[in-house]
A and B are shown apart, each in its own frame.
Chain A
């Protein structure tokens, strides 16, 4: 993989630099490889004559098969090395379904000479074989007749009528049983039905992404037929559905962006480096074109400082507990003294805990003694939730504690997202009214991004804290780091509640400083969390 990538890149450069390049890596690539690389490189002259060229196995295969695609997809393809922070490098592309389809079609030219069929026919076959050229070619070389019949490109007994839309004066369609039909459609099989029925039939089938056949037999409709019946480019819908099926099938290489209404697909080309991540308690994060950051392994949003295991366990637990918990959170409050969950099923706000007989106010959760106001009102302001008292005894209570924090920050992240949208609008107004350039307002979008990333890190730090051993010193440091990030994030969030847009430019430095601070704190917390995982202090359990 590594070699072919380099070859693809360096093929236009002079030979010497290429050789030097490989020599510097000579501990990785042995002599045979080196030779074959050079032979492969001059493959115009003798690439198939020398058997040693093929001894190194998939190298030549990669060169022929893989690099062409790689060139199109990822011009900056490099080594599978690590970046400055010791994170394995991931080579990936952000694509849309249309782009993936275009890539598939761009390969037709290469394989067309093998089949000697029209592009339309080959597309039908590829669709049947879920876009796997290899499997198709395998079957094709074995028994091409069988493939053609299976794909609906040939029928065993051909009636051999003309294909396409036909005109009649009075045709009885056997699907709708209406007579006086003038426009009909048929394939070579001779099964003929009115165009209206065909339209309806095809429209229903387009989202399935499978080959659409004649209504009576297995003869396939090609894209040109679909376009002829439904109007131009309708077959594109079928192709996109088919590509979606392809992505589903190849979920190892392709993942949908998990964010709502985002249609990006991420394709990772160096899968081998994916396996490096779990060992290091890191996650392969990718960023789509819309700046959504998510984990390529588990498909969840960015869940640093936790690794995939923590995230997956947490989500599983949340699903198990959520129904109970949501009800409990929604309908009960804990007794301020003994912590038992109390459901208020009527009556006034003067509560008496049945387990410890503590009397308190339902609204402010304070002792009833000396409580002002009436029985149905509370004059005191609701106190803040206590942070950091992780000394909980039973596991549900412990979980509830962290889950509350987790979901609170999840909500805040949603609010911050909306905040980002309003700030963006304000910035637009600024640009128009005061005439500030786009570049100069970039600090705002950067601050928003920092805020959201900080918030996400914070949110996912609670599962780590939940699974960590609370008595360990590193956990205490982790909790301290959490608190620091909380205040940094809240500061920045406060700052972004822009009240006076006109003064905003003067406070640019403040924005930069606070955003940078959030970034450093996020990084520190992530590092600390990873430490907990690497040292086995945080162990996700069922």
Chain B
């Protein structure tokens, strides 16, 4: 395997030595570009008390190209689809090489705190969210309890 760029080494070291509260990111033994990530649901959100598993992959062109991030835990959220794909600007058009793994994961956590049903990825969820917000939030809570409770 080609040697790991210094940038990735530095970021990994800092993720371990100075972790972001509520977020863990551990590189895979076999592939140091692949991270197993957990994010705690933000307080006062429907995802509170949930722990969500994600995977994060740094492509060859990182940091020129954005990391690829996907939810592994089932989640009811207008900007996250059934396959766990996330609709988030910094993962796409607004990516900049000056951003980092930690900033991206913080953005994902912020997305959990403030869903944006006006720019949806999962259309059915977003529609639900716009029409019956209370019911949608209740469902998100229920799914969190069902799928995202720490064992």
Report A's interface with B, CB cutoff 8 A.
174-178, 191, 193, 197, 200-201, 204, 215-216
- Asked whether B5 is an interface residue with its Cβ less than 8 Å from the other chain, the reply is yes
B101 CB, nearest partner CB in chain A, Å: 13
Q: Which residues of B contact A201 (CB under 8 A)?
A: 64, 97
Given contacts A176-B7, A200-B64, A216-B96, 15 further A-B contacts (CB under 8 A): A174-B98, A175-B97, A175-B98, A176-B6, A176-B63, A177-B5, A177-B6, A177-B7, A177-B9, A178-B6, A193-B98, A201-B64, A201-B97, A204-B61, A215-B96
- Contacts A175-B7, A176-B5, A177-B10: A191 and B64 contacting too (C-beta < 8 A)? no
Residue of A nearest to B7 (CB): A177
B34 CB, nearest partner CB in chain A, Å: 20
* Bound CA–CA A193/B98 (angstroms): 10
**Contact indicator B97/A215 (Cβ below 8 Å):** yes
B31 CB, nearest partner CB in chain A, Å: 20
**Contact indicator B98/A204 (Cβ below 8 Å):** no
Q: Which residues of A contact B98 (CB under 8 A)?
A: 174-175, 191, 193, 215-216
B-side interface mostly: loop
B7 CB, nearest partner CB in chain A, Å: 4
* Bound CA–CA A193/B63 (angstroms): 13
**Contact indicator B64/A204 (Cβ below 8 Å):** yes
Q: Which residues of B contact A177 (CB under 8 A)?
A: 5-7, 9-10
* Bound CA–CA A215/B96 (angstroms): 6
Residues 1-25 (chain B) with a chain A CB within 8 angstroms: 5-7, 9-10
Residues 97-111 (chain B) with a chain A CB within 8 angstroms: 97-98
* Bound CA–CA A174/B14 (angstroms): 14
* Bound CA–CA A191/B64 (angstroms): 16
Q: Can you show 8 pairs from A to B with CB atoms below 8 A apart? A: A175-B7, A176-B7, A177-B10, A178-B6, A193-B98, A197-B97, A201-B97, A204-B61
* Bound CA–CA A215/B97 (angstroms): 6
Q: Which residues of A contact B97 (CB under 8 A)?
A: 175, 197, 201, 215
A197 CB, nearest partner CB in chain B, Å: 7
**Contact indicator A175/B63 (Cβ below 8 Å):** yes
Q: Which residues of B contact A193 (CB under 8 A)?
A: 98
* Bound CA–CA A200/B5 (angstroms): 15
Q: Which residues of B contact A174 (CB under 8 A)?
A: 98
* Bound CA–CA A176/B10 (angstroms): 10
* Bound CA–CA A177/B11 (angstroms): 9
A79 CB, nearest partner CB in chain B, Å: 47
Q: Which residues of B contact A176 (CB under 8 A)?
A: 5-7, 63
Q: Which residues of B contact A215 (CB under 8 A)?
A: 96-98
